[in-house]
Amino acid sequence: MRLMKLSTLCAAVMVVTTCSGDEGGRSQRLLSGKNLIDALQQRRSLNASGQGLRRVVTDLQGNTGIAICLDRRINPSSLVDVTTQYVTTKTIMESLARTQSEAGVSFADQYVLIGPARAVGRLRTLTELRRQDVQKLRNTMAAERFRTLVETRNVSWPDLTEPRQLLVDAAKQAGVEIRNAEVVPHDLWAAADLPAVVFADLATMVLNQFDLTFEVSAAGVMTIIPVPEVVVIERRHRIPSKSKDEVLARWKAAVPDLDHMLKGLTATVFATVETHERLEELIGGNARTVVAASGLKSRLFTLKVQQAPFGILIEKLRKQGVSIRVEGRSGPELTEALQKTAAFDLTKSPSAEFFPKIFEGSGAKVTVTDDEVILMYP
C-alpha cells in the first residue's frame, strides 16, 4: 500500500563553515535574524537539471544553514531545471520558486518558504499581525501565562506528522488551548527542524498553508479562523519635506493602488510588510536598496581531506556553491591531471590562501575572484 505524499518539506542543517568536506562535522545550528539575512546575501552558483525539488532544497539547506520550507501545496517531487551564475542565495531561492506554477517565496525571520504566490505574499504580514495581537495581551493576560506564550522554543517534528497534532502539541507547550483544532484538515508532513520560534510564528506558518489564521484570548484560548480576503498592516512613514512631491510620485509609480492617508509629512499606509519596506526604499531614492553580497574573497573556508582526487574535490566545492573554471587543458589531459590526489586540513582559511593551498599539487595556477576560482594549466 502506498503511503500518502509527504506534502511539506522543511528541514535544515548548517555546514560548519562555508565549505566542509567532512559530513560528520556538520553543526545542527540553524540561522535566523541577521545571520539568516547575511546568509541570503552569500553568493554561490546552482546547477540543478532534472532533479527533484526536495533534493535540491535539501542540498541547499545543508550548504547554507537556512531552513527552507515547501508549502503543502508545492509538489516536492517535481523536477526542476535551474542553472545560475554566481549570484546571491536569495536569488537562487527565487529562481527555484519560479520553477513551480504560480509560486513565490517569502523570506521570514527564521526560515524561507516557497509556496503559492498569494499565500507567501501574505505570510510576513500575517506573522506581524499575530505578533501584535499577542503583545496586546500583555496587560490583560496573567503574567506567567503571557511569559509562557511568548517564550521561544526549538521546533522539530518527525516524518508523517499531522499538522493538526503539531499545533495542538505546540499550543500545549505555550499554555494555549485550541478551541477548534478539528478545522485543520488531515495531512501528513515530512520531518522538519526550525530555529527557535514563538508559538504565534509557528502557528501562522502552519495555518497559512490551509488559508487559516487564529485569535488568542486573555484566557489562553485560541480560535482558528479563515484568513481575511485582504491582509494588510498599518504603518506610518515620515516623508522629507524637501522631496515630498518626488517621493509621492515614486510611490504612485511603484504602487498605483496604494491605500494611504497623508497628513502633513506623515503618511499612514495600509499594506503588506514587503510593500512598507519598498516604500521606505523609495523615500531614499528611486532604486531598490542594494545590499552588497559577500563574494569569495571575503569568505572563510574549512576543509579536511585525507586523500582525494582533485576532480572529486572540484565536484564537492561546486556542490557547495563555489564556481570553479578550468582552463588550459581538456579531454584525456585534464582527466589525468584531476586524478592526482591532495591531503590537507584547513580551518577558517581566507579564500586567497585556501584555494591555492588545496590545489597546490594540481599543476595549475590558481586565481580567486569574487565570482569564481580559475585553475589555469600551462
Kindly write down the DSSP assignment for every residue of 238-281, as one continuous string: EPPGGGHHHHHHHHHHH-TT-EEEEETTEEEEEE-HHHHHHHHH
Q: What is the CA angle 203-206-210, rounded to 5?
A: 120
Share above pLDDT 70 across residues of the chain, in percent, rounded to a whole number: 89
Angle in degrees, 0-180, between the axes of helices 117-135 and 199-208, rounded to the nearest 10? 150
CA gyration radius for the chain? 24
The mean pLDDT value for 5-32 works out to 44
pLDDT at 151: 97
Of 43 and 321, the one with more pLDDT? 43
CATH number for the domain running over 119-226: 3.55.50
pLDDT 10s digits, 245-283: 999 999 999 999 999 999 999 999 999 999 999 999 999
Per-residue pLDDT at 15 exceeds 50: no
* 19, 22, 51, 171 from 178: Cα distances, Å: 44, 44, 40, 7
Q: What value does the mean pLDDT of the chain take?
A: 87
The mean pLDDT value for 304-333 works out to 82
* Alpha carbons 154 and 218: distance in angstroms, whole number: 24
Per-residue pLDDT at 377 exceeds 50: yes
User: Smallest Cα–Cα separation from 302: which of 13, 12, 16?
Assistant: 16
pLDDT at 350: 83
Per-residue pLDDT at 378 exceeds 90: no
pLDDT at 5: 43
* Alpha carbons 152 and 150: distance in angstroms, whole number: 6
pLDDT 10s digits, 73-111: 999 999 999 988 888 999 999 999 999 999 999 999 999
pLDDT 10s digits, 101-160: 999 999 999 999 999 999 999 999 999 999 999 999 999 999 999 999 999 999 999 999
pLDDT at 294: 58
The mean pLDDT value for 332-343 works out to 86
Q: Which CATH superfamily is domain 9-117 in?
A: DotD protein (3.55.50.60)
* Cβ atoms 103, 147 nearer than 8 A: no
* Alpha carbons 133 and 222: distance in angstroms, whole number: 12
pLDDT 10s digits, 153-209: 999 999 999 999 999 999 999 999 999 999 999 999 988 889 999 999 999 999 999
Per-residue pLDDT at 23 exceeds 60: no
Of 317 and 152, the one with more pLDDT? 152
The architecture CATH gives domain 296-376: 3-Layer(bab) Sandwich (3.55)
pLDDT tier at 348, thresholds 50, 70, 90? confident
